[in-house]
Amino acid sequence: MGVSFLILWIENFETMDEKIGHIHDTFFKSLFSEKENALALIKAGFPAEVLAQLDLDTLATEVDSYLDENLQQSFADLVYVVGWRGKPLRIALLFEHKSQKPADETVLLQLLRYQLNFWETRLKNNEPLCPILTKIFYHGRQPWQAKTLAEVLQIETHSPLRGLVPDFKYLLTDLSQIPDTEIRRLFAEQGIQIGVLLMKYVFDKSFVERLSELLKDLDKLLEGKNGRIKFKQILLYLLKASKKNYRTKIVEIMQEMSETTRKAYISVYEDMLNEGIEKGKAEGKAEGKAEGINLGIEKGELRKTIRGVRSALNKQKYSIEEIAELFEVSEAFVVKVQLGEIQEDEDQ
């Protein structure tokens, strides 16, 4: 007998750009598909009386999905199984990443629909029904106050209707309400700590000003266990999820890092470009524009191009993408110039 711990993500309560939604979904699952990180997330948000009954040593992944066609458009799930006092229990963790809190009715009805689908699936499989706990992991701008279904239906605590209509409540972790010091305590491992803090501030107006502090431990992260994998996860999320005009700031931060970190950043940046993430780079342009200095620039023009790129960077008025467009070079070329990986004398 076991407990299933399901991580669910709401991709679209209202209007949501699917590409941006996919970026947050992918990053969240890349963080919490690791058992250690999932354990940290459980310990960070479940009531003490619930944690006391969970046998966390038995935590393991499960591949089953219980979502219907309609919910597949709104959810992506990641499932864990953990022991619970010898009884089966399903725990659903729902990740929501919108910058504005959706309507309470929408949240509760989608959660209720999920629970019904889950129970119907168990009946079809001749399995006994079991309790479901739901949890939302939220990192939008506005504070979120969890409500029960009875509250939304405006049924008072002592109303005779209580017990005659469905009701449930969900657990909620709202990152905006958790101090950074507490996040660092709850998520002690460096990779997940940086990742969760980035998610907390990614929609915040102060995000670019906070980047130096948020990324200060990248050198240490890169040196640690599975450092390169975690470094790539974090940097790809940062580059894809943040505004493009923040990228110059990111490169400035990389200039303060070790040479190993700078080179790792360039590698991640090139990987992103090669994946086709940067719209408008390959489309409508000559395919011969490869990364680095193999750009079809004549040797006699290379020094002039490097000098022009550096001058544009020094003015701090243009984004990396705009400079690349202006000089007809790749964004990776601009990043390498800014980091000093390409010098003016390289055409000699």
pLDDT tens per residue across span 174-219: 898 999 999 999 999 999 999 999 999 988 888 989 999 999 999 9
Q: What would the two tokens of residue 8 be?
A: 């669910």
Q: Are residues 69 and 102 in the same domain?
A: yes
Whole-angstrom distance, CA of residue 145 vs CA of residue 283: 44
79 strand-pairing partners: 6, 62
Q: Give the CA count within 13 Å in the CB-facing half-sphere of 229.
A: 6
Give the best-scoring range by mean pLDDT among 12-16, 40-44, 338-342: 40-44
Q: Are residues 23 and 144 in the same domain?
A: yes
Domain boundary among 126, 156, 177: 177
62 band by pLDDT with thresholds 50, 70 and 90: low
Q: Are residues 202 and 335 in the same domain?
A: yes
Q: Give the CA count within 13 Å in the CB-facing half-sphere of 93.
A: 25
Task: Using the predicted structure, report yes or no on whether residue 142 has a pLDDT greater than 60.
Answer: yes
Task: Using the predicted structure, report yes or no on whether residue 316 has a pLDDT greater than 50.
Answer: yes
Q: How many CB atoms are closer than 10 A to CB 141?
A: 12
Whole-angstrom distance, CA of residue 176 vs CA of residue 178: 6
Which of 44-48, 246-250, 339-343 is predicted least confidently?
Answer: 339-343
Whole-angstrom distance, CA of residue 138 vs CA of residue 156: 27
Per the structure, how many domains does the chain have? Answer: 2
Q: Are residues 22 and 144 in the same domain?
A: yes
Domain boundary among 118, 152, 177: 177
The per-residue pLDDT for 323 is: 83
> Phi/psi of residue 314, each to 5°?
-65, -30
Q: Are residues 93 and 196 in the same domain?
A: no
| Helix H or strand E encompassing 155 | none
The per-residue pLDDT for 317 is: 74
83 strand-pairing partners: 55
Q: Are residues 154 and 253 in the same domain?
A: no
Q: Are residues 97 and 239 in the same domain?
A: no
Q: Are residues 215 and 281 in the same domain?
A: yes
Which domain does 169 fall in, by range?
3-177
Q: Are residues 171 and 201 in the same domain?
A: no
Q: Give the CA count within 13 Å in the CB-facing half-sphere of 333.
A: 28
Q: To the nearest whole number, what is the mean pLDDT of the chain? A: 77
The per-residue pLDDT for 213 is: 92
pTM, full prediction = 0.76
Q: Are residues 163 and 187 in the same domain?
A: no
Task: Using the predicted structure, report yes or no on whether residue 114 has a pLDDT greater than 50.
Answer: yes
CA-based torsion, 99, 101, 106, 108: positive or negative? positive
Q: Are residues 29 and 128 in the same domain?
A: yes
Whole-angstrom distance, CA of residue 141 vs CA of residue 13: 15
